Amino acid sequence: MLHVLLSSSSRQSNKSFGTVLYSRQTRNLFRGRFLSKFSISSFSRTQSSPPLQPVVTLGLLRENYDKWERRAPLTPSQCHDFLLRYPQSKILVQPSSHRIFANTAYERAGATVQEDLSAAHILLGVKRPRSFDNLPSEKTYMFFSHVIKGQPENMGLLQDILDRKIQLIDYEKIVVVEPTTGKEQRLVAFGRFAGLAGTIDSFHILGQRLLRQSWSTPFLNVPPSIYHSNLEEAKRAVRQMGECIAKEGLPEEMPPIVYGMTGGPRGNVYQGVREIFDLLPHEMVAVEDLPQIYEEPSSRRYKIYGVAPEMKDLYARLDQDNDSIFDRRDFFENSQMYRSQFATKIAPYLSVLINSIFWDHRFPRLLTKQEIKDLYRSGNERLMVVSDISCDIGGSVEFLERSTTIDRPVFQYDPIIGKEVADTILDYGVSVSGVDILPTELPKESSQHFGKALQQVIPDLVQAVVGTDNETAEQHVDPDKLSSPLSKALITTHEGNLAYDFRYLEPIMKRTSRASRIVDEDARTMILSLEGHLFDSGLINQVLDVFELDHCAFEFLDCNVRYRGKGEDPIKSSALLKITTDDENVDLEKVEQKVGALVNAIVTADATMNRLDRRQSQTAYVEDNKQKTVLLLGSGRVSKSVVDYLGHNKHRNIVVASDDKTEAKEIAALAHHFRHVHMDIVNDQRRVHSLIKDSDVVISLLPAPMHPQVAEMCIDSKTDMVTASYESKEMRNLKSRIESSGIKILNEVGLDPGLDHMSAMKMIDEIKDRGGHVTSFSSVCGGLPAPEAADNPLRYKFSWSPRGVIAASQNDAHYLWEGRYVQVSGNELLANAAPFVEAWPELHLECLPNRDSLHYKSTYGLDDASTIFRGTLRYSGFSSLMHVFKTMGFFDSSIAIGNIHSWDDVLKTLNDARGGFATIEDFILACANDNHDESVRVKECLEWLHMTGSEKIKKSTNDCSIVDIFCHRLEERLKFEPTERDMVCMHHTIGAKYEDGTIEKHFSSLQAFGTEATMTAMCKTVGYPAAIAADLVLSGLEGKTGLLLPTSKDIYLPTLAICEKEGIVFEEHVKIEQQGITDLNAAK
């Protein structure tokens, strides 16, 4: 029979203990419903005691894990309530001069203050004890343990708990169901207090920062939370500051103060943030109205502004524009398909960011290092303060590189150089705060909240204590008598075992010794996400075995455990693992492949694996700290990224030589040490030669035909050289002279060629290292407008020369396809486009054969491959349109334009040259091979390009043929607007076969997007590899001379690794098409 005792006065009590009395038989019927808000009954101080009053002793631990921790699990008043409810029970309190409540306050409440807690049945703390050496064993403890994710630093603690047969209940796992929403939430949560304290602290940080910039403001008059005796006093100080702002105003010349607050509208932290922020005179604005703040100066001095973006404001799908409808469910299911738009829509207008959003490696970052760098580089330095209350190191705010402390709450981050420059506030850069124990800055209110939550569960614990009638008997909490929320929070048992739901920690504990050894900050890391029946199938144990055997450390970044029972829904578990190694002999790619093989082999797990992060060691070469001079010839479309990368090294002097003085000056200024030289590179060879002699390496971004001439000067000057262009026949003719001079000339280190070589050779070498051979090779690449910018009939825009695009579309192509040799003449290349469906099907791409694929047979060592294909990607329909334009004569360089004045003249001239059709429509139809639909598309495209009618053609001095004015018009009409992004896509598919019969398909994909108005994807993917290669030439590649390509490990491994740090990341996966006999047996 179930008895619930509830007095009318108890319904009004906020300080009382709940109790539910029921028999053991009925308890199991009630499990899972106990802790809803409507199933807790309260006892006031006047209520009569129930029969069979239990006698239990509670112990309150002294907090010693962190010097700033002043909270207590129960306040003196709450202890008094407990003793009134259980008059035969006791409370023992370890003495502490650090606790927010005095020892005497507990004594007045009826507790006993003493060091020895051995008589206590249940011991309560906030944080984990620093040591159990002076604490009793074989007891029940409750505290935040931080062990459930397998944190390596706490596995020793967990082993100590098991050895001492301690029964641990972790607050973090006590989850109750919110009756109004049906959602689970933690019973003991401090988010509101973190939000309160973090916002109060942000005012003082902002005040100091503004004072550094010579603006005295009331913000400086609000001390940090920890200096207030209680929350109300802190709020009073904030109100006074607000009154001062409303009456006196902020400095007239100062920009408006705009607070950005994430995590709303329902997050606990956000609620705390708003509770403080709303005390000030303020105006909340919508995201789309942010620009208007800076257009209305009249009243902004007397208030501050706030914006509270929701998820729909922060994220957008990569394949949709910013105004598309946000699908929350799709975001969580397909987070890899989303990008943050915070840097473009919100950050440019903020003074302060208070961040409290949840983040892990599955989700896009809110604000990256590159994005804040781009923002500052553009001249927008409004964002002065970031208070990251979520405190995810390197997480949603990537430049939160470490946590801060209460006594030193801020470090100064310089976005331009990309690192912390001081542990105090400066007048430049971003003042970053990331205190991870903010609630303890309000210890009194936090403790009251803590105790109020515990008051709901302590009666349940009291009723479940076994052995209270005998001091020498076994004393513990009977799990069968606990409510479901408490039993699920039981980490360890009184027998010294892990509880059922936490058995997964056992193999982690056994492997922790390895984790503690890896401290090298340059260690290589990968992030794996696993989902499936990981634990009951045994898959997770075998995965951890792989890590141990390969000498890798691991850490659970996130873990949700579900065990499959009879008749239960097949809910899957998930794990997010960080795998690290500092052993140079360990290949993380092979480790990943082994895990993938296990996932495929253990069918009962029904599991999937994804790699979320690809970070490799950057220690493949040793940086040379000697001062070196880099000569950059040309200041064109990709030079910005070259100087951006090299110019941040204080040991590099950057010299930019160009015939465009303004451009050269602007590009050179991106570097710490720079100069620009205005010169005619083509005709002033003597001066070019002189610059080369004074340099340590030359990066030539000139047109490819000019490289051999520069190379000859490098040979004569014994200066190394780097280019992003194909190695030409003329360059190969210089090979012996290059070798004799002892210099290095490294070609083909851009995108294509460049990253295509490096990413492909990485996979090919890995296959060969495992004893396999390549059976097929296919590689495609394309520079395109991002989907939202592909808004014209050609679905194309130019991030490089239109003339180059046209020239490339007329090259002959040769490739091998399933053993058949295929040759396509340049005249018919555009007619041979085929749909590309191996990646990004939502983009609707097509592929054109690219030049001579067959010479890669020797370059890549593909002797056994039956398919060798390289292609160029375009959006579907581009090639057929361009083929008609070619047929019409727009690619013709032999037709002079002397007497041509309008586009009608152009069309008439081209028609006459092709035989003279009766009408222009007939002419277009014939060139479209009598395809009516295609001819309509051509006419629409011509009209969109403004290439019809009597409009006068604007001829430049260099325009002398039809193709010249065609390219000029293409560049004019198909240019990127400042707010538009370009996109680079690259994909490899490589077949592999092994001696045991295993057949695999290896896939590698790169999708990179430009940054609006700052740097294009093409600029990044061409310039960064070239710059990194130049740095390699200066810093490493010992013993190498001659004509080089980036196909060896000592070049491609460090280059790819550093490219990843710049956001150029290849996503790889392997599909096993046929399992080898040996591997299958091993997996079993």
Express each pLDDT in 165-213 by its tens digit.
Answer: 999 999 989 988 776 666 778 888 889 999 999 999 999 999 999 998 8
If you average pLDDT over each of 49-53, 72-76, 898-902, which comes out highest?
72-76
The helix or strand, by DSSP H or E, that contains position 451, with its residue range, turns out to be: helix 443-454
| Tens-digit pLDDT profile for residues 97-128 | 989 999 999 999 999 999 999 999 999 999 99
Q: What is the mean pLDDT of residues 750-776?
A: 93
Tokens linked to 536: 């009951």
Task: Tell me which amino acid residue 46 is.
Answer: T
| Tens-digit pLDDT profile for residues 905-947 | 999 999 998 888 999 999 999 999 999 999 999 999 999 999 9
| Tens-digit pLDDT profile for residues 293-330 | 988 766 678 999 999 999 999 998 887 766 678 888 88
Distances (CA, A) of 227 to 200, 230, 625: 11, 9, 46
Q: Which pLDDT score, from 0 to 100, does residue 39 have?
A: 35
Long-range contacts for 411-414 (Cβ within 8 Å, ≥24 apart)? none
Q: Tell me the torsion sign for CA atoms 230, 233, 237, 242.
A: positive
| Tens-digit pLDDT profile for residues 387-415 | 999 988 888 999 998 999 998 899 999 89
Tokens linked to 444: 């009194």
Same fold yes or no, 513-615 and 628-754+987-1071 = no
Strand ranges across the sheet with 57-60: 112-113, 90-93, 57-60, 122-127, 140-144, 167-170
Q: What ranges in 535-684 are assigned the alpha helix state H?
A: 539-549, 588-601, 639-646, 661-668
- Where residue 581 falls (left for φ over 0; alpha for ψ -120 to 50; beta otherwise) is beta
Q: Which pLDDT score, from 0 to 100, does residue 325 have?
A: 82
Strands 744-746 and 867-875: unpaired
473: confidence class by pLDDT, cuts 50, 70, 90: very low
Strands 57-60 and 167-170: unpaired
Q: Which pLDDT score, from 0 to 100, does residue 616 have?
A: 33
* Number of neighbours of residue 303 by Cβ within 10 angstroms: 18
Q: What is the mean pLDDT of residues 1036-1040?
A: 73
Tokens linked to 829: 């290349």
Residue 1070 has pLDDT above 70, yes or no: yes
Residue 471 has pLDDT above 60, yes or no: no
Report the distance separating Cα 734 and Cα 86, nearest Å: 94
Residue 477 has pLDDT above 90, yes or no: no
Decide: helix, strand or coil at residue 100: coil
Angle at 413 between CA 411 and CA 416, to 5 degrees: 170
Q: Which pLDDT score, from 0 to 100, does residue 184 have?
A: 74
Contact between 780 and 800 under an 8 Å Cβ cutoff? The reply is no
pTM over 0.95: no
Report the distance separating Cα 374 and Cα 379, nearest Å: 9
Contact between 1010 and 1020 under an 8 Å Cβ cutoff? The reply is yes
Q: Is the peptide bond before 265 cis (omega within 30 degrees of 0)?
A: yes
Q: Which pLDDT score, from 0 to 100, does residue 411 have?
A: 93
Q: Which pLDDT score, from 0 to 100, does residue 875 have?
A: 95
Which residue, 549, 598, 600, 609, is CA-closest to 576? Answer: 609
Q: What is the mean pLDDT of residues 463-483?
A: 72
Residue 898 has pLDDT above 60, yes or no: yes
CATH superfamily for 628-754+987-1071 is NAD(P)-binding Rossmann-like Domain (3.40.50.720)
Strands 352-355 and 385-388: parallel
- 1078 against 432, higher pLDDT: 432
- 419 against 624, higher pLDDT: 419
Angle at 957 between CA 951 and CA 960, to 5 degrees: 75
Contact between 996 and 1039 under an 8 Å Cβ cutoff? The reply is no
> Could you please report the per-residue DSSP string of 355-374?
E-----TTS--SB-HHHHHH
Q: Which pLDDT score, from 0 to 100, does residue 30 have?
A: 31
Report the distance separating Cα 155 and Cα 713, nearest Å: 62
| Tens-digit pLDDT profile for residues 542-579 | 888 888 888 888 877 777 766 554 444 456 778 888 88
What fold is seen in the domain 882-973?
Answer: Domain 3, Saccharopine reductase (1.10.1870)
If you average pLDDT over each of 147-161, 480-494, 754-768, which comes out highest?
754-768
379: confidence class by pLDDT, cuts 50, 70, 90: confident
Report the distance separating Cα 1056 and Cα 723, nearest Å: 17
* Number of neighbours of residue 387 by Cβ within 10 angstroms: 33
Report the distance separating Cα 174 and Cα 151, nearest Å: 19
780: confidence class by pLDDT, cuts 50, 70, 90: very high
Which residue, 708, 551, 597, 375, is CA-closest to 1070? Answer: 597
- Distance from the Cα of residue 800 to its chain's centroid: 29
CATH code reported for the domain at 2-187+456-500? 3.40.50.720
Q: Which pLDDT score, from 0 to 100, does residue 518 have?
A: 42
814: confidence class by pLDDT, cuts 50, 70, 90: very high
Which residue, 94, 99, 104, 109, is CA-closest to 71? Answer: 99
Report the distance separating Cα 496 and Cα 914, nearest Å: 91
Q: What is the mean pLDDT of residues 603-618?
A: 68
Share of the chain above pLDDT 90, in %: 49
In sequence order, what are the residues at sequence separation of 6 or more whose Cβ sits closer than 8 angstroms to the Cβ of residue 180? none
Q: Which pLDDT score, from 0 to 100, does residue 1080 have?
A: 39
- 955 against 79, higher pLDDT: 79
If you average pLDDT over each of 230-239, 389-398, 634-643, which comes out highest?
230-239
Decide: helix, strand or coil at residue 778: strand
What fold is seen in the domain 191-441?
Answer: Rossmann fold (3.40.50)
- Distance from the Cα of residue 914 to its chain's centroid: 55
Q: Which pLDDT score, from 0 to 100, does residue 764 have?
A: 95
* Number of neighbours of residue 742 by Cβ within 10 angstroms: 11
469: confidence class by pLDDT, cuts 50, 70, 90: low
Q: Which pLDDT score, from 0 to 100, does residue 455 have?
A: 92
Q: 452: exposed, middle or buried (C-beta count within 10 Å: 0-12, 13-18, 19+)? A: middle
C-alpha Rg value of the chain to the nearest Å: 34
| Tens-digit pLDDT profile for residues 1015-1036 | 889 999 999 999 999 998 987 6
Contact between 327 and 320 under an 8 Å Cβ cutoff? The reply is no
Contact between 525 and 194 under an 8 Å Cβ cutoff? The reply is no
Q: Which residue(s) pair with 499 in the sheet?
A: none
Q: What is the mean pLDDT of residues 995-1004?
A: 91
Q: Which pLDDT score, from 0 to 100, does residue 761 have?
A: 95
Task: Tell me which amino acid residue 631 is.
Answer: L
Q: Domain 513-615 belongs to what architecture?
A: 2-Layer Sandwich (3.30)
Tokens linked to 566: 């009879």
- 49 against 690, higher pLDDT: 690
Contact between 751 and 783 under an 8 Å Cβ cutoff? The reply is yes
Tokens linked to 710: 């520069």
In sequence order, what are the residues at sequence separation of 6 or more whose Cβ sits closer than 8 angstroms to the Cβ of residue 629? 652, 653, 655, 694, 695, 696
Report the distance separating Cα 1041 and Cα 951, nearest Å: 56
Tokens linked to 781: 């690449």
If you average pLDDT over each of 402-411, 868-877, 945-954, 1006-1015, which comes out highest?
868-877
Q: Which pLDDT score, from 0 to 100, does residue 434 have?
A: 94
| Tens-digit pLDDT profile for residues 645-674 | 888 777 888 898 888 888 888 888 887 778
610: confidence class by pLDDT, cuts 50, 70, 90: confident
Residue 475 has pLDDT above 60, yes or no: yes
> Could you please report the per-residue DSSP string of 885-903?
HHHHTTT-SSSB-TT--BH
Decide: helix, strand or coil at residue 499: coil
Domains of the chain by residue range: 2-187+456-500, 191-441, 513-615, 628-754+987-1071, 882-973
Q: Is the peptide bond before 281 cis (omega within 30 degrees of 0)?
A: no
- 426 against 44, higher pLDDT: 426
Tokens linked to 702: 């000139």
> Could you please report the per-residue DSSP string of 172-195?
GG-EEE-TTT--EEESS--HHHHH
Q: What is the mean pLDDT of residues 524-539?
A: 84
Q: Which pLDDT score, from 0 to 100, does residue 835 have?
A: 95
Q: Measured over all CA atoms, what is the biggest interatomic distance in the chain, rounded to whole angstroms?
A: 113
pLDDT averaged over every residue in the chain: 85
Q: What is the mean pLDDT of residues 217-225?
A: 93
Q: Which pLDDT score, from 0 to 100, does residue 497 have?
A: 93
* Number of neighbours of residue 451 by Cβ within 10 angstroms: 24
Residue 783 has pLDDT above 80, yes or no: yes
Q: What ranges in 86-183 are assigned the alpha helix state H?
A: 103-108, 155-163
Share of the chain above pLDDT 70, in %: 88
53: confidence class by pLDDT, cuts 50, 70, 90: low
Tokens linked to 537: 């199938």
Decide: helix, strand or coil at residue 61: coil
* Number of neighbours of residue 251 by Cβ within 10 angstroms: 13
Q: Among all residues, which ones are annotated catalytic?
A: 752
Q: What ranges in 889-1036 are assigned the alpha helix state H?
A: 903-913, 920-927, 932-944, 962-973, 1017-1035
- Distance from the Cα of residue 925 to its chain's centroid: 50
Q: Which residue(s) pair with 284 in the sheet?
A: 306
